[in-house]
Amino acid sequence: MMTALMDIFILFFDLIRKQTQALRMMVVDLGWSLAFILIAALLITASAAFFLLGMYQYFSALLSPVAAAFLVSFIALVLAVIAAWIAHRKVK
């Protein structure tokens, strides 16, 4: 009777140890995934900034710098509103 009870305790603590190791590996994997998502977000932000800078320089050659800045900021605002609208639709 006592050995059966001890076997149950040993099996229980062994199960706890294995589950803890599995949880630790999942947390590490989640951390790496979040790090790569952050890197991707930073790269997307930088590429969008360069894209808008290129648009500004192009429009600046055609229009006055003030009008080019206004046009590029308006395009950026429209893109931001579209992105927010898509995010809002996904939440519902």
Using one digit for the tens of pLDDT, what is the confidence trace for 1-55? 778 888 888 888 888 999 999 899 999 999 999 999 999 999 999 999 999 999 9
Report the number of secondary-structure helices (H) and strands (E) in the chain: 2, 0
CA–CA gap between residue 20 and residue 18 (Å, rounded): 5
Q: Region 79-85: what's the mean pLDDT?
A: 92
Using one digit for the tens of pLDDT, what is the confidence trace for 3-12? 888 888 888 8
CA–CA gap between residue 80 and residue 45 (Å, rounded): 12
Identify the domain containing residue 56 by its residue range.
2-91
CA–CA gap between residue 90 and residue 35 (Å, rounded): 23
Domain count, the chain: 1
Identify the pLDDT of residue 47. Answer: 93
CA–CA gap between residue 91 and residue 89 (Å, rounded): 5
